[in-house]
Amino acid sequence: MKLQVHVERDEAGYFVAEVPALPGCVSQGKTKDEAIKNVQEAIEGWLEVMGSRTMYRKEELVEVVV
């Protein structure tokens, strides 16, 4: 799986990594590399938790085209 990660430096000098496609999936690190490594772990955790929450019955799902 490939995901885009937005990385920027905050006011305290830490690098903050956020995954726009996964709401609430954010991590940080002292270096950019550390932030990316940390957000990879956060992505794995996010997918594990959210995967267990999104068990819907087929008749509850609706497809929308934008």
CATH number, position 31: 3.30.160.250
pLDDT digits (tens, 9 = 90+) for 26-66: 999 999 999 999 999 999 999 999 877 766 677 777 888 98
54 lies in some domain = yes
32 in any annotated domain: yes
In-domain check, residue 19: yes
Would residue 65 count as lying in a domain? Answer: no
Q: Is residue 1 part of a domain?
A: no
In sequence order, the 6+-apart residues with CB closer than 8 A to the CB of 59 are none
pTM above 0.75, yes or no: yes
Residue 22 lies in a domain: yes
Q: What is the pLDDT of residue 63?
A: 85
Q: Which domain does 23 fall in, by range? A: 6-60
What's the pLDDT at 57? Answer: 72
Domain total in the chain: 1
